[in-house]
Chains A and B, each alone.
Chain A
Amino acid sequence: MSSFKVFDIAGSGMSAESVRLNTVASNLANADSVSGDPSQVYQAKHPVFQSVQALGAANLGVAALAATVVGAAANQLAQQASASVKVSGIASNTAAPEARYDPSNPLANSDGYVYSSNVNVVEEMTDMISASRSYQNNVEVMNTARNMMLDTLKLGQS
């Protein structure tokens, strides 16, 4: 049924934002990790969000035309018109790691350099706030939709 899809949508938003929060935690935890080998050092990770839609915008005109024939088809169109979100992948930041001269570090290479991760802590903090706000937003949507459903169930009973 169409009205329960709102929970799927808000749920997909919540899971995508929690993946984002997870990558932020991983990035922040590894912000100070170093390595003697530039290819082994931690690279900042960021999720790639993608909307999941059965119908693309280009197909919508054709489908809408078909939908005018039957009312049920219109409902189907409405279902496909709203898109949930998914994490299509985790991208690593390939920016070169910063080299630091630190010969006393046990991980330093033969020239005395260690390479630190390319995590930008300030960027991660703003990302964290953004992810947390978006998560709360989706929770709020789900709560409101839940109350609306419960009120609908009580229709005609009072």
Chain B
Amino acid sequence: MALSLDSYLGVHAQALTLEAQRTELLAANMANADTPNYKARDIDFKAALAAAGNGAAALGANLKYRVPMAAALDGNTVDTQLEQAAFAENSVRYQATLTFLNARLKELMTAITGS
């Protein structure tokens, strides 16, 4: 039986890709914190990960617009504090996924070297 690295790494490989994309999206939200008419966006992470697991496009339909708590006069919907919190959370999740992946790879190395 051939070992498929994709199935061995499980959901974590896809999660890492999604978290990297979310990092980019949140960075874009914060870079545009002062841009008139910019609408903040985020990923529906659960749905996107499920879609990635089924082989469908992870983003696209799961790319949503944020509902602003208080609309700015210039049409901008970025709440910097909220984005900062989401960014911090996302980076911790990224590190966690990396830890999981590292553990998996270490297991594999142990199996290969036998020590």
Contacts and interface: CB of A to CB of B under 8 A. Distances in A.
Contact of B25 (A63, A71, A82, A85): A82
A10 B31 contact: yes
Nearest to A5: B24
B95 A51 contact: no
Contacts of A77: 57, 59-60
A49 B41 CA distance: 18
Interface residues of A, number: 49
Contacts of A74: 57-60
A155 B105 contact: yes
A68 B60 contact: yes
A138 B35 CA distance: 14
Given A64-B60, A133-B80, A156-B106, 8 more contacts: A13-B30, A49-B36, A67-B59, A67-B60, A78-B58, A137-B80, A148-B20, A158-B106
B27 A130 contact: no
Q: Is the interface of A mostly helix, strand, loop or mixed?
A: helix
Task: Place the interface of chain B in its size category.
Answer: 35 or more
A14 to B, nearest CB: 8
A83 B91 contact: no
Contact of B63 (A60, A84, A130): A60
B57 A67 contact: yes
A60 to B, nearest CB: 7
Interface in A72-93: 73-74, 77-78, 81-85
A84 B31 contact: yes
A84 B95 contact: no
Given A144-B91, A155-B98, A82 B61 contact: no
Interface in B78-115: 80, 84, 87-88, 91, 94-95, 98, 101-102, 105-106, 109
Given A74-B60, A77-B60, A78-B21, A152 B33 contact: no
A57 B55 CA distance: 24
B2 interface: no
Interface in A1-20: 2-3, 5-6, 9-10, 12-13, 16-17, 20
Among B24, B58, B91, the one with the most A-chain Cβ atoms within 10 Å of its Cβ is: B24
Contact of B35 (A10, A49, A141, A156): A49
B57 A134 contact: no
14 contacts: A9-B24, A10-B31, A49-B35, A63-B60, A64-B60, A78-B21, A81-B59, A82-B27, A82-B41, A85-B31, A141-B30, A141-B31, A144-B91, A147-B91
